[in-house]
Amino acid sequence: MANEYILEMIDISKSFPGVKALDHANLRVRPGTVHALMGENGAGKSTLMKCLFGIYIEDEGEIILDGQKVRFENPKQAMESGVAMVHQELNQVMKRSIAENMMLGRFPKNGPFIDQKAMNDFTKEYLDDLGLDISPKTKMEKLSVSQRQMIEIAKAVSYDAKILILDEPTSSLTEQEVEKLFEIINMLRDRGLGIVYISHKMEEILEISDDITVFRDGQWIVTEIAENMTNEKIINYMVGRELTQRFPPKENIPEDVILKVEGFTGKYQPNIQDVSFELKKGEILGIAGLVGARRTELLEHMFGVATLESGKMYLNGKEIKNTTPHEAIDNGFAFLTEERRATGIFPVLNIAENSTIASMEDAKVRGLLDNKILKEKTKWVIDSMSVKTPSSKTLIKSLSGGNQQKVVLGRWLLTEPEILLLDEPTRGIDVGAKYEIYQLIINLAKDKKGVIIVSSELPELFGICDRIMVMSNGRVAGIDDVENLTQEKIMELSAKFL
């Protein structure tokens, strides 16, 4: 008789210095199902999956895979046994080809040399299988985030996976790319894989999953069939209380123009072209668009990360030039980047250092850093952002993704910016923490700051923005008050210049 569960994780406990990440947690996954794993940031979801994948070794409990008790000491053992994981932060060698990334650690040999043809043929077989029309020789750096993610899934399938773990797989994807991903997930489910799906997006979870398990504070709370669950039920299980609203009330009142951008065109093509818009004091301006719309590139040019070919920018009526990030900070700009791990955090530094690194000058007394001021700044970040951490001395890389994001946002708020540029600010953050971040953004707008938000989640833009600017292929396709727009209209504008 076949096993009812392809994976059982029973009474799993895992502690780190100062924190018990998992407390007798349980997860049981049926073959041929998508099993959603939900919980607030720090609830233990990623820690449990890292125990399964051999990144961590559990302190207590047992793992049963396809009827056999297993204990993986490293990810290679897990993958060779049929457990594959696509991480939220993709770990890929960007300068190498798709085929080389697919075959890392298992290159086919022809004598003493790597067999390039065998490698490319093997990779193409799995790309074709998933309907990905890309050459195996393409370098990873040429691919979009969604394509890179599909490559990771293809790699997982090539290991003959029985269990596939997807950690926040749609956090950087547009609606069309999410549909493509769901097609692939459904195909793999039909082949009998057990898919563990970690996400904070409620609508997505209810659409794609068969079963839902909720964790809270490292403990198993409930496992239910998806069709028996609702948004309200899930949120209640996650936070232990009812959360009646997804978005705080908009209490900001936009006033006079604080920022004017005229004719921004990037130096290197393809890039932004002739982008012009205005931002008011106390306004939250959303930027929508498909992947490739160059939304991130616009923020990078505004912050001095990327080089302009032409264009001007005025702050409070005075022309300014942000030719470097340092100059941008001096001019009152702050920039929360999308790729948190690559360009947001300093992983080898602790929370205190990550919190204060952008406002060190304000912590100096007679030219020397004052520890008391640094401690006060760090305490403000931890308290106001509700960062879950045992200590300010904890390395930031050991925090959950959402808590890392809160620290980075807190870091920028310490600089007291006039203009806050936010690129996917709630990516990978749970519903409770999202509400807190939305409230902080609205409070900044109430304090007469100008806020610009790039987001791939249209409900988020409609929920907190005053106006939405839609970009298409590097150009402004339209801009209007939220009340005058619909999701359909935004999607129509997104395709305007394609």
**Beta strands 450-454 and 284-288, pairing class:** parallel
Residue 242 has pLDDT above 70, yes or no: no
Stretch 138-161: mean pLDDT: 85
Three-class SS state of 227: helix
Q: Is the pLDDT of residue 83 over 90?
A: yes
Q: What is the pTM of this model?
A: 0.64
Mean pLDDT of 368-382: 85
Please report where in the chains the tokens 């086919």 appear, as a residue: 108
Q: Averaged over 112-136, what is the pLDDT?
A: 89
What does the block give as tokens for 423?
Answer: 């690129």
Q: How confident is the model at residue 1 (pLDDT cuts 50, 70, 90)?
A: very low
What gap in Å lies between CA 390 and CA 369, rounded to an integer?
24
Determine whether domain 7-239 maps to CATH 3.40.50.300.
yes
Q: What is the mean pLDDT of residues 464-487?
A: 95
Q: What is the mean pLDDT of residues 326-355?
A: 83
Closest by Cα among 433, 432, 491, 498 to 461: 491
Q: What is the percent of the chain with per-residue pLDDT over 70, rounded to a whole number?
A: 96
Q: What is the C-alpha separation between 187 and 32, in angstroms, rounded? A: 10
Average pLDDT score over the chain: 87
Q: Single out the residue of 19, 24, 469, 445 nearest to residue 219, CA to CA.
A: 24
Per residue in 425-442, pLDDT (tens digit) is 887 676 777 888 898 899
- Fold equal for 7-239 and 257-494: yes
Fold entry, domain 257-494: Rossmann fold (3.40.50)
Angle 334-340-166 from CA coordinates, rounded to 5°: 150
275-307 burial, b at 16+ Cβ within 10 Å, e below that, comes to bebbbbbbbbbbbbbbbbbbbbbbbbbbbbbbe
pLDDT given for residue 402 in this prediction: 74
Q: Where are the domains of the chain?
A: 7-239, 257-494
- pLDDT for the residue 175: 74
Burial class (CB in 10 A: 0-12, 13-18, 19+), 475: middle
Checking if the pLDDT of 15 tops 90, the result is no
Between CA 192 and CA 33 the distance in angstroms is 7
Determine the pLDDT at residue 274: 96
